[in-house]
Amino acid sequence: MRGIDAVMGRLDDAARDELAALYRDLHQHPEPAFEEKRTAGIAADRLREAGFEVRTGIGGTGVAGVLRNGEGPTVALRADMDALPVLERTGLPYASTNDGLMHACGHDMHVACLTGAAHLLSAGRDQWAGTLVALFQPAEEIAAGAQAMVDDGLFDLTGRLSVVLGQHVLPRPASTVFIRPGEILGAADSMEIRLYGRGGHSSQPERTVDPVVLAAAIVMRLQTVVSREVSPFERAVLTVAQIHAGHKENVIADEASITLNIRTFSPEVRRTLLAAIERVVNAEAAASGAPRPPSFHTLNAFPLTANDPGATADVTDAFTTRFGAARVADLAPMMGSEDFGVFGTAAGVPSVFWGLGGIDPSQYARAEREGRLAEDVPGNHSPFFAPLISPTLPMGVEALVTGALTWLSR
């Protein structure tokens, strides 16, 4: 691949140290969905320093930088910015200073990697031709940020894209990238269901319709949906994550609410699960004598994430050439979800998404050997999730640069 050595040669020790400091700063200052003002400001400033045309406030707090460098393809690189409502328990010296918020999914790593790649590609403009677009997206965790940026006129700034590329740090061995064509991340739907009962004194249950008992019946019945209504050859998950009801131990509440989440890889299975949820909830409410039907409220919906086969083959070949076959592994499909694919779908262009290992390889190998991966290797969304800064950060920068130059250096 023409020019990559010249571009990556600028990632010297000083540049690595500066990016590591940026990562630690971002990790210390997490911000929730659509409130990533500080993070967005840092990203915008770094892009301006690198000579990008920058627009802020896209879809709320989104940032887009455009660097035009002659005739050629337009390649978009994307990083998400939002943190999670998780109390950090890593004990790191650069742990979150915002109580109850944590970059438990690695979006701080994504931002730092894209910032580094943007600077290297800008400094190495003599090695490529085309247009580079850097997207810093808000609100990935609630499946809203990508669509918000698109709806707010993102493509008016970027023009027609040729491809969209992105990556996600994973609890896998560092110094390795993980990629595959086709479906890689499941679709996800989350909803809140409000159940209506008739409250009263706990000593007189016969005068009430207890929504707690109703909620319990629904939770138990929903456990059979995947096991009895979905083929064992399909993949699906249904999780009831929250139950809320009541305020006093001697009062039967009027209402209860449950929140649940489903994960699917097939539109048909998704329809089956959604229909079954509505059927079970309504039937149990009727069986309990509820005074009114339950209400259903959609919280978020993530689309299926699928890599374009042709574009993925090109990126995989570039990774293999750059890193060697031993550092490029298959990315097994996961039930986790992303809204990254919204950009490529909305633009009508291919998209490619890959995994970036972030765990000490010896720690991972030991845990795998002892059958303790779940216990000893904290995953995304864990309060203990802490990717290694090095080599994860420089590897992530190099992966983005390699992916971009797969098109821009042609």
Tell me the catalytic residues. Answer: 82, 140
Per 3-state DSSP, the chain is made up of helix, strand and coil in percentages (nearest 5) of 40, 25, 35
Going by the DSSP 8-state scheme, the letter that residue 304 receives in this structure is P
Sheet holding 255-264, edge to edge: 236-245, 255-264, 187-196, 295-302
Tokens of 187: 């679709």
C-alpha closest to that of 263 among 339, 187, 184, 183: 187
Tokens of 342: 């919204």
337 alpha carbon, distance to own chain's centre: 6
Q: Are strands 74-80 and 130-137 parallel, antiparallel or unpaired?
A: parallel
Tokens of 71: 């005739």
Supply angle C-alpha 177, 347, 3, rounded to 5.
45
Q: Distances in Å between the alpha carbon of 327 and those of 168, 332, 403? A: 16, 15, 15
Tokens of 258: 């449950």
Instruction: Strands of 117-222 (E only): list them.
Output: 130-137, 163-173, 177-179, 182-185, 187-196, 200-201
